[in-house]
Structure 1
Amino acid sequence: MAGTTTAARGERQQGSSGPPRVRRPKAPRLRTIVVLAAASLVAALVAGWLVYGSDWLRVHEVSVSGTRVLTPDQVREAADVPVGEPLVSVDTEAIEGRLLSKTPRIDTVDVIRSWPDGIELKVTERTPVLLVQKGRNFIEVDDEGVRFAMVSHAPKDVPLLELALSRRGSSAASLRRFGEDRLVREAVRVAGRIPAAVARDTRVVKVRSYDDISLELRGGRTVAWGSGEKSEAKARALTALMKAEPGARHFDVSVPTAPASAGS
């Protein structure tokens, strides 16, 4: 009987060969799972203890920056930071709220966690642009018209705000229409646009009505400004007018396209 041919043997070998076997990874043993789970639990407990239980990450220091009139101790007292508490659990929004409500001089404050054990208070104080005299004291008014503090000594180069509002005529009409707070904001708006060279000599910003705001300068000079509208154009007109008429005593820029001066 004839033996199997070489071709037949090849076909048999080819037909019997299948795709290569892929070894499947063995499922992790129960012991390995238990060890990994225990390690994760221990790591979580240690992390929790470090954050909440250890003294290393508790508040030990409160630093203050940005103060000009206030002292750092005044800021710390108003902030009432819970020293000794875990740093991660400190309510920074509550600290900010206490500072803004207890200390009107503060305009903005950033409360920052300073790891590992500090709270940083970055303060921005309000800057007075006008003063309202009250008896022997002065109320400071900022660039938003906020009356934020009373001081016994007037800050240097900050003009007085005089509300010369009567109950008759245009003053009464402005008071009814706009209210005192709006008129104060208009005065602040004007004060912020006075040319620097003139601002140094400005002693009083007087408000009679919304459209009748004037400046009283050193040496008895006056400036009729009008309303707070077009203040930039009025500032440019005043600068040019004072250069052209240095000996004048009275200036009117209420209509900036037609400024006028008088007196000598």
Structure 2
Amino acid sequence: MTASDRPLTVPDLAVARAEGRRLAMLTAYGAGFARTCDANGVDLLLVGDSLGMVVQGHGSTLPVTVDDMVYHTACVARGIRRALLVSDLPFQADATPERALDAATRLLQAGAAMAKLEGAGPKLEVVRFLAEREIPVCSHLGLTPQSVLRMGGFKVQGREAAAAARLREDALAVAEAGAALIVLEGVPAALAAEITAASPVPTIGIGAGPHCDGQVLVLHDMLGLDSGHRRPRFVKDFLAEGGSVAGAVRAYVAAVRDGSFPAAEHSYL
């Protein structure tokens, strides 16, 4: 096995950042697509609670359960050899540190290498609790889909000065609490660039401009599939230029690595 073939580890994420290598991440919900993504250069696969919308047909991620996440995590884990697998803690699974530990343990036992949870503030205690108990954590800031009811929809976050300052503070706080990776979603590109420059850990953007340390898209969006929901600005159909699912994955990975995606039309001001 060569260095490029060996499975990625959590410390490898920091190494990639230090070396200036952008990380390509996609969602996956089953073994078949996971195998294709893994074989065509994707660094990280995310079993997102987005499965509630793109697989189960719900209007939000809120109905997704821990059992759903464990099932899909196990399916994806069987299909990968190299990519690092991240799995979401679904709605209210991280309401207390103890609940989060139980759910995250199940996800890691199913094959994940990292648990992702949304928010900061009261979630800092959860991040710290998990990190101290050997659970690698990815924090998700900005547009957090589990907060859709409070936010009044899927809206860009951090445009006002106070909200931008809070996001900057939250990013530093989750890293200090032990998060090894931060996803920034629905954040103005300039703000995401500032957060990335100040963050001690790598950032992954989705609708956060081109200056994060990596990018993630929902697989169905990257393939131009109709999920039954409004197409976000930050989405690009890579199947149109890739010609096949494998070709689309390769095109996406190449565009993330060379910095051509996301372009200005995929970013928010």
TM over 0.5: no
RCO higher in structure (CA 8 A, sep ≥6): 2
- Higher-strand-fraction structure: 1
- Higher-helix-fraction structure: 2
After TM superposition, the score normalised by the length of structure 1 is: 0.23
Q: Point out the structure with max Rg over C-alpha.
A: 1
After TM superposition, the score normalised by the length of structure 2 is: 0.23
